[in-house]
Amino acid sequence: MGSPDAHRAVEAVWRIESARLIAGLARTVRDVGLAEDLAQEALVAALEQWPKDGVPDNPGAWLMATAKHGGIDRLRHQRMARRKHEQLGRELELDRGGADPDLAAAADDHIGDDMLSLVFTTCHPLLPTQARVALTLRMMGGLTTKEIARAFLVPEPTLAQRIVRAKKTLAEAELPFEVPPPDELDERLASVLEVIYLVFNEGYSATAGDDLMRPGLVEDALRLGRMLAELTPREPEVHGLVALMEIQASRTRARVGSEGEPVLLADQDRGRWDWVLVGRGLKALDRAEALGGEPGPYRLQAAIAACHARARTPEQTDWTRIAGLYDQLAFVTGSPVVELNRAVALAQAFGPETGLALVDELTSEPALEGYHLLPSVRGELLARLARYDEARAELERAAELTNNRPEREQLAERARSLPSEPRETAL
C-alpha cells in the first residue's frame, strides 16, 4: 500500500478507534492524560510502519498492543508501582511482531464500561464547561486540537492550554476512572448530556464565522449521543437527546440555500429533509417515553421537534401542542431562551400580540442582553402587526449583534425588505 493510502487508512482508523483505545488504556493506567499520550505514540508508530508494512488485519488491536508496549516502557523508566507494571505485563505478551489475538477479545470485554467511564471523566463537573467540550471532542471524537480550535473559532494555543489544564486538573484530583455511583449519576449524566448538546448546537447553528453550520460537529455529537444511548439504555433523557439531535439533523440539507443563506423552517423544502434520520429520531423518542417518568428538557425538546417532523407542510404544524410543550419546558428549565421560543410558539398558536407581550417582558432580562435572537423575534412579531418602522429597527439591531455572517446578511436584508409606514401630512 502506498504512503498516501496508508496515511488515509491511519486517519480513518484513528477516528473510529481512538475513543476505544484511550478508554481501554485509561482503565489500565488510571490517568486520562497518560492514556492519550500512549495512544498518540501508537498513532505515530502507525504512521511510520503502516506505509512500509501495510495496514494490519486488526488495526485497532495493533494500536492497543503498541500503546501498551509503550506504557510498559514508560512505567519501567518512571519506576511506577510494581502492581501496575505487572498488570500491564499480564495483559500483553511482549510479542513485537503484532497484536495478540486475545488482546482484542479482552478489550471488547471491557469496552462498554471503558467508554462510559471515559465520557463521564471528560465531562466531569470539576472542569469548566468549555474544557469539558474540548476534552470530550479530543478524547471521544478523535478530533485534533487544530480541528476543535477551528470549529469553535478559538486560537489553537488557547485551546491547547485549555486541554492541558483539563487533563492536569483530572490527574491532580485523582478521580476514579469509573461510572459514577448511583447517588452521583444524575448530576454527572446531566453534565455529559450538556456537553454533547453544546457540541451539537454549535454545529447546527454556528455562533460565529462565515458558515451557518458546521456539519462535522453535528456528526460528532450524534455519534457521541448514539454511543451513550447504547451504554445507558435505561436513561430516558439520553434517548430524548438522541431523538432531538436526529430530528434536528434531518433538516441539514434544507437549512441552507444555494448561496449559503439560512432558510427558515417555514420556508424549507421538506422533501429535502432526511426522513431516515426523522424515523430514527421518532423511534428514539418512543424509547424515551416508554421508559416513563417526568419528561426532562431533552425529551420535551425532542417532542417539540417531533411536532414539526410530523407536519408535512408548515400549515399542518400543531402549534397549540408545541406551545403547551414549551410551557412544560419553561417550567423545567427556567431558561429565558426557552421563554423566547415559547413566545414564538404562542404567536403562532394564538396570534402575534400574545407572543409580543411575552417578548416585551423579556427585554429586561439580563441573560438575553446582547442575544441577537431577542430583537430578531421581536422584529418579526412587530412586522406581523404592521409596525414596520419598529420592526426594521429591531432587525437591524439583531444584525449588528450576531457574529455569524449568513445570519447577519439575512437579517439586514429582511430589515431592508420591510415597507415604509405611511407618514401623516400636516394640514
Of the listed ranges 43-52, 56-65, 205-214, 401-410, the least confidently predicted one is: 205-214
Which comes out higher in pLDDT, residue 323 or 147?
A: 323
| H/E stretch holding 289 | helix 275-290
Q: What is the rounded CA–CA span in Å between residue 343 and residue 352? A: 9
**Of 133, 205, 215, the residue nearest 406 (C-alpha):** 205
Which comes out higher in pLDDT, residue 208 or 315?
A: 315
Can you tell me the mean pLDDT for 359-377? 94
Q: What are the structural domain ranges in the chain?
A: 1-110, 371-427
**Of 145, 61, 75, the residue nearest 103 (C-alpha):** 61
pLDDT at residue 97 tops 70: no
The pLDDT of residue 54 is 86
The burial of 95, by beta-carbon neighbours within 10 Å (0-12 exposed, 13-18 middle, 19 or more buried), is given as exposed
The pLDDT of residue 80 is 52
Chain center to CA of 341? 20
The pLDDT of residue 86 is 57
Using 50, 70 and 90 to split pLDDT, how confident is the model at 109?
very low
Can you tell me the mean pLDDT for 60-69? 89
The pLDDT of residue 81 is 53
The pLDDT of residue 161 is 94
Cell numbers placing 240: 430524548
Can you tell me the mean pLDDT for 91-95? 49
DSSP 324: H
Can you tell me the mean pLDDT for 390-419? 95
The pLDDT of residue 93 is 45
Range of 80-84, 179-183, 259-263, 396-400 with top mean pLDDT: 396-400
The pLDDT of residue 353 is 97
DSSP 233: T
pLDDT at residue 214 tops 60: yes
CA atoms within 13 A on the CB side of 213: 20
**Of 132, 174, 134, 183, the residue nearest 154 (C-alpha):** 134
The burial of 366, by beta-carbon neighbours within 10 Å (0-12 exposed, 13-18 middle, 19 or more buried), is given as exposed
